Structure 1
Amino acid sequence: MTRFSGRPHDSVTAIPSKSAAHRYMICAALAQGRSVIRGLPGELPDDLTATLDCIRALGAAAVFRDDTLEITGINAKPDVLRLDCRDSGATYRLLYPVAPLIGGRAEFMLSPSLAARPMEPVTELLKSKGVAAEKLSVSGSFGPGEFPIRGDVSSQYISGLLLALSLLEGESRIRLTTPLQSKSYVELTRASLSAFGGESQWMGQDTILVKPRRLKAADVTVEGDYTHASLFLAAGAVYGPVTVTGLDPGSIQGDRAMLSILDRMGARVDMGGGSVTVSPGRLRGIDVDVSDTPDLAPAIALAALAAEGSTVVKNGGRLRFKECDRISAIATELKRLGADIDEAPDGFTIRGGGKLHGAACLCHNDHRIAMLLIMAAGLCGGIELNGAECVSKSAPGFFDEYRQLGGSIS
C-alpha cells in the first residue's frame, strides 16, 4: 500500500499525447525512408513501448534518443510476426488489420485484460474478406473494396482500417453501420496519415474514402496530451489554480472538451501562451455526454465530488470495456471514500459536496482509476492505494508530477 495526500496546485507541463504518438510511430514504420518523431517523453510509457517493440517486430528500424525517435520504414518482411501488445489496446487494434499486409502470419500476445476486450467486429470483417482472422492471430492478405464496420464499439477499429487500407493499390471505403463514437480519434488518425502523405475524406456522415498513397517519411512533433492533463485541470477547479503548459489551444483532440466541461461547472478557465490555467469557482453539477470523450469520465468524477448538486455522466457504456470496467471501478472506489454515487449501465451520477473520508482503495490495474483516486486524496485527508504503479501504462512520471503539484507520497 502507498499513501497519497495533499491538495494539488501550481504548474505542470503536459506530457506528449499518447494517442498521437502511437499513430505517428505506426505511420513512420509504414512509410518509405527515415522519419523523425520529436517531443516524446524521455521514458516511454508502457503502451508506447509496446508499439515500438511491435513496429520493430514488423521490420522497421527505430532508434530512441532523449525525446526523439528515428524510424526507418519496414524493409524485411518476416514470414511469421510475433507482436507483444502487452496491455495496449491501441497497439493491438491499430496494428491488427495492418499486420497481415506486412507478413505471412501475425501472432498477438495480449495481457489478460486486453484479451477480454471485444475484437469481433474486426475479425468478422476480415474473415468476410478471406482472411484467417482470430483474436490472437491473423493471416492472409486482402484487397481494396468496401469495409462495413460498427462505429459504436471502438473508434480504434476504424483507425486500424484507415492505416491498413492506405497500403492497398486501389480506393477503399469504410462504411459505418452504426453511429461513430469518439470521432476525434478517427480524425487524429486521418491527420497523422496526412502528415505522412496519406489521403482520406468523408463522404457523407457514414463513409470514409481511403485513397491509395505510398506513405513518405516525415518530421513530426507530438503535441501535449489533453487526456492526461484533464485530471490536473479538474484538480485546479477543486483545490486551487493549476496551470498546464504545452497544450495546443487549437488541438483536434476530443478530450480538449474538458475545458468547456469545467467552464460549465463553474470553474474559471484561462488560456494563452500555450498554457491553460483552471481556478476554483462555485462548482455545480451538470449532465455530461461522454460518448465522444469516455476517457474524461475520471476527471469529471473528480470535479463532481466537489460540486453542488448532481453530476450525471451518460452514454459511456464503452467505459465497461477499458482496462477494467471503469464505471464499476469509479463507483466502487469512490463509495469507499464516502461519495454519494450511483452506477448506471452507461455511466454514473455523483451528488457532490458531501464529506469524504480516507480509505484503502484498489486501482483495478487501471492507470486512469489510479490517477483519479490519487488526485481525490486531498478531498478526504489522504488515501492508501494498492497497485498504484499501474500509472506507468500511460505516464511513468505521474508520481513526479503529483509531487510537483504539492502532493505527498509515503
Structure 2
Amino acid sequence: MELRTNAEQLKGEISVPGDKSISHRSIMFGAIADGRTTVSNFLLGDDCLSTISCFKKLGVHIEQQGQEVAIEGKGFEGLMESEEVLDVGNSGTTIRLLLGILAGRPFFSSLVGDQSIGKRPMTRVTKPLSIMGAKIDGRQDGKYTPLSVRGAALKGMEYTMPVASAQVKSSLLFAGLQARGTTRIIEPAKTRDHTERMIRKFGGNLKVDGKIMEVEGGQPLKGTHIHVPGDISSAAFFLVAGAILSKSEIKLKNVGLNPTRTGILDVLTEMGVDFTIEGNEEELFEPCGDMIIRSSRIKGTVIEGDMIPRLIDEIPIIALLATQAEGTTIIKDAEELKVKETNRIDTVVNELSKLGAKIEATSDGMIIYGKSSLSGGVVSSHGDHRIGMMLAIAALVCKEKVYLENSEAISVSYPTFFADLHRLMDL
C-alpha cells in the first residue's frame, strides 16, 4: 500500500487499543478460574483472537461482543482435550503461556502456528516444563512447532531463567499454579509483571522479592472483572510521531503505565522529548493515564542493560526516533530482538536504510546516526506488525513516495492503526 508522506503535523486525541499482553492473560486466567470473568476494552487484534479460539477448542465457554468478553471458567479441571489442533497464528504469547497451562493437564494437545512461529525457539519454555514433569515433543527435540504436549502431574522446582522473558516466566507461573509444592523462579532482569498482577487479581497468592517469585500449587482462582488499559507499545508509535513532526500535539487516552512497561518513557525523557501525563491512577490493578506528546528537539542516547526488557517491543520505533535526533544513539543488550516475529535488529536496519537512514546492526543491537533526511522507496513489514507500524510513521517524514508491502500484519495488534493515523493528520 502507498503510505502518507510529507506530513506537517499531527493534532487531536485518540484512544489506542487495549493492551495485548493483558488481553491475552485475561482470557487465560478467566479460563482457569472458577466462575464468570468479564473483560472490557479487549484488544480485537489477530493474536488475542487466536487465544480465544484456542480456549474455545479446550472446552471453555467464551462470549464476545466487540471489545466486551465474558468467560465461564471451571478451573484448570474444566479444560478438556481438544479434538482439533490448537492454532496460535502469529502469537508467541499464546503458544508459550498455553504450554504452561497444558503442561499440567492430563490429556494430549497439539499446537501449531504460522510460518513466523515455526521459526521462534520454544526450548526456553519446553525445557523447564519438561523438568517439572510435562512430556513435550516437536521439531528438533521440541525446539520448534508443531509441538505435542502430554500433560502430567507437575512438581514444583527452583528455576533460574537464562534469558529475561516475561513469556517464559508467565508459562512457568501457570505451571506452578498446578504443581505440587512451591515453584521458585529467578529472572536475570525484571520483566513485565502482568501475570503476577493477574494472579492476585483472581484471588491467588505469590511472593515477589525483586527478581525472585514463588508460587504455591493448588490455589483456587475466582472469576473477576478486568478492564484492559490502552497498550503503551501501541501508543509508542504515536508518541514518536508527535515528537518528530513539527507543530504536533497529540493526546493519547487511557494508556497503561505499568512500571515494568514504561522504559519507553524513560528513553523519551533522556532524548529530550516533550510529553506529560495526566490522571495517572497508580492504585488500579493496572495503572493508566492520559499522555500528551508535543513536537520536540531530540538528542541521541545510549539504551542498554536492565532497561531493555522494559521496552523490548518499542525498540523498532525508538530506532526511527533516533534517526531524527541530533547525535548518535546506541542500543545494546537487545539480542532478544533476534527471536521476535522477525530478526528485528536486521529488519529495522535494512528497512530504515532503504529510506535513507544512517543505521548499522551490531551483534546485540544497533547504532543510529542522526539526524537523517529520509527519502522514500519500497519497504516491507516482513509480517511483523511493529515493523509495519514503524515504517508507516517513518513515511510521515519522508520526502518521496513510500510503499509498504505486507501491511496487513499490523492488524495483529492494532487493527485501527491507519484510521487513527489519518484522523490525526486530517484534523
Normalised TM-score (structure 2) = 0.88
Match of 1:36 in 2: 38
Rate the CA distance shift 1:76–1:255 in 2: closer, same or farther, 3 A: closer
Q: Structure 1: which 5+ runs fail to align?
A: none
Correspondence 1:344-363 to 2 at 5 A: 344-363=362-381
1:46 CA displacement = 0.5
Distance in 1 separating the partners of 2:148 and 2:158: 20
Q: Deviations over 1:79-114 (max 9, x none)?
A: 766311111000000010211323511100111211
The question of 1:275 aligning with 2:290 is answered yes
Q: Is the 8 A contact 1:58 1:81 kept in 2?
A: no
2:153 is aligned to 142
User: What does 1:4-19 align with in structure 2 at a 5 Å threshold?
Assistant: 4-7=4-7, 9-10=10-11, 11-19=13-21
Closer, same or farther in 2 for the Cα pair 1:160/1:354, shift >3 Å?
A: same
The alignment status of 1:244 with 2:244, answered yes or no, reads: no
Deviation at 1:159, TM superposition (A): 0.3
Which residue does 2:357 correspond to in 1? 339
The residue type paired with residue 162 of structure 1 is L
Alignment of 1:292-371 (within 5 A): 292=309, 293-371=311-389
- The RMSD of aligned alpha carbons is 2.0
Distance change in 2, residues 1:171/1:259 (3 Å): same
Could you tell me how far 1:196 is from its partner in structure 2? 0.8
- 1:162-221 deviations in Å (ceiling 9; x for gaps): 1222134x4322333x613xx342x21010111111211125644534453111111111
Question: Does the 8 Å contact 2:133/2:155 carry over to 1?
Answer: no
Helix, strand or coil for the counterpart of 1:223?
A: coil
Aligned match of 1:174:
184
Residue 291 (structure 1) aligns with: 308
Residues of 2 paired with 1:129 and 1:300: CA distance?
A: 38
> 392-401 or 68-77, which moves further after superposition?
68-77
Distance in 2, matches of 1:115 and 1:355, equals: 37
CA distance in 1, matches of 2:273, 2:122: 39
Aligned to 1:3: 3
What per-residue deviation string (whole Å, max 9, x for no partner) do you get for residues 29-53 of structure 1?
0011111111224xx1110010000
Q: Distance in 1 between matches of 2:163 and 2:64?
A: 36
Aligned residues, how many? 399
Residue 154 of structure 1 pairs with residue 165 of structure 2: yes
Partners of 1:264 and 1:100 in 2: CA distance:
43
- In the superposition, relative to structure 1, how do residues 79 and 298 fare at CA in structure 2: closer, same or farther (>3 Å)? closer
| Aligned residue runs from structure 1 range 212-223, under 5 A | 212-223=218-229
Structure 2 counterpart SS, 1:299? helix
Map 1:118-133 to 2 at 5 A.
118-133=121-136
Q: How does 1:98-117 map to 2 (within 5 A)?
A: 98-117=101-120
Equivalent positions of 1:194-205 (< 5 A) are: 194-203=200-209, 205=211
Residue in structure 2 matched with residue 256 of structure 1 by the alignment: 262
The corresponding residue for 1:48 is 48
Q: Compute the displacement of 1:226 (Å).
A: 0.5
Distance 1:340 1:398 in 2: 27
Contact 1:233-1:243 at 8 Å conserved across structures: no
* Amino acid in the other structure paired with 1:144: K
The offset of 1:121, in angstroms, is: 2.6
Cα distance, 1:63–1:23 mapped onto 2, change above 3 Å: same
- Residue 88 of structure 2: SS of its match in structure 1? strand
* C-alpha contact (below 8 Å) 1:38/1:68 kept by paired residues: yes
* Matched letter for residue 399 of structure 1: F
Contact 1:363 1:387 in 2 (8 A): yes
**Contact 1:27 / 1:163 at 8 angstroms: preserved in 2?**
no
SS of match in other structure, 1:86: coil
Amino acid corresponding to residue 291 of structure 1 in structure 2: I
Distance verdict in 2 for CA 1:219–1:141, change over 3 Å: same
Distance 1:204 1:392 in 2: 35
- Residues 1:6 and 1:15: Cα distance change in structure 2 (over 3 Å): farther
Give the aligned residue type for 1:83. L
> What secondary structure does 2:241 align onto?
helix
Structure 2: distance between partners of 1:37 and 1:208: 27
Amino acid across the alignment from 2:301: I
Alignment partner of 1:190 out of 185, 196, 206: 196
CA distance in 2, matches of 1:103, 1:211: 16
Provide the rounded CA distance (Å) in 1 between the counterparts of 2:241 and 2:374.
16
Same amino acid, percent of matched pairs: 29
Asked if residue 67 in structure 1 is aligned to residue 82 in structure 2, the reply is no
Q: What SS does the aligned partner of 1:348 have?
A: strand
Per mean C-alpha deviation after superposition, the further-off stretch among 65-74 and 86-95 is: 65-74
Amino acid at match of 2:409: C
2:425 equivalent to 1:406? yes
Partner-residue secondary structure (3-state), 2:37: strand
Relative to structure 1, is the Cα distance of residues 203 and 265 closer, same or farther in structure 2, using a 3 angstrom cutoff? closer
Distance 1:76 1:161, change over 3 A: closer
Q: CA deviation at 1:151?
A: 4.3
**In the TM superposition, what whole-angstrom CA distance separates every residue of 1:146-169 from its partner, at most 9, and x where no partner exists?**
14252415321110111222134x
- The change in CA–CA distance for 1:371 and 1:205 in structure 2 (over 3 A counts) is closer
Which amino acid counterpart does residue 287 of structure 1 have in structure 2?
V
Relative distance call for 1:103 and 1:130 in structure 2 (3 A) is: closer
